[in-house]
Amino acid sequence: MSVNYQIDESVQQLCAWYGDGQDGSCPSAEQWRQVIERPANKSITLINFFKFRQIAKYSQAMNQNRDCISGEAAFQQYASVSIPTMERVGGKFLLVGPFDGMFLGEAEDWDLIAIGSYPDIQSFMGLYTDSDYRVAFQHRTAACERQKVIVCSG
């Protein structure tokens, strides 16, 4: 089986699990591909910017008893699964903290910044292929009005 076929298959599976990226709540196929095609032994760091909704917005199928939960509370449900899962697969957080403003550059408005690092692509993929993490991801989607994730080496 060729490497390109394996990458295509992985991208298709990730899009099936998380969505196609059209609404900005998850990576697009091209964004998944860009990360997956990185050298397998190269470390990867993600800088996450989160803006929470006042009230979490769950899909109708997932809205069981969640009508009045805040975006921040929904995100805490996500974090309660994502943090230990990330650590279990070999990743670690370098920083998780509130956004306090801009020092340089155009003004932006965020609630939380999280910087996570993985030693290699296998560790990174271990998070996104974990079944508990996939279930918890709905809370991240419901919690966030918008989000931005920057990929870095190192």
Q: Report the CATH number at residue 79.
A: 3.30.70.100
Same domain, 53 and 126: yes
Same domain, 142 and 93: yes
Same domain, 73 and 99: yes
pLDDT tens-place string over residues 75-95: 999 999 999 999 999 999 999
d(CA 33, CA 12): 10
Number of domains the chain is built from = 2
Same domain, 17 and 83: no
Total-model pTM:
0.86
> Which residues pair with residue 117 across a beta bridge?
45, 92
* Mean pLDDT calculated for residue range 114-125: 95
Same domain, 90 and 52: yes
* Mean pLDDT calculated for residue range 25-48: 90
Same domain, 58 and 32: no
- For 133, the domain range is 40-153
> For the chain, where are the alpha helices, taking DSSP H only?
3-18, 29-36, 71-88, 121-128, 131-143
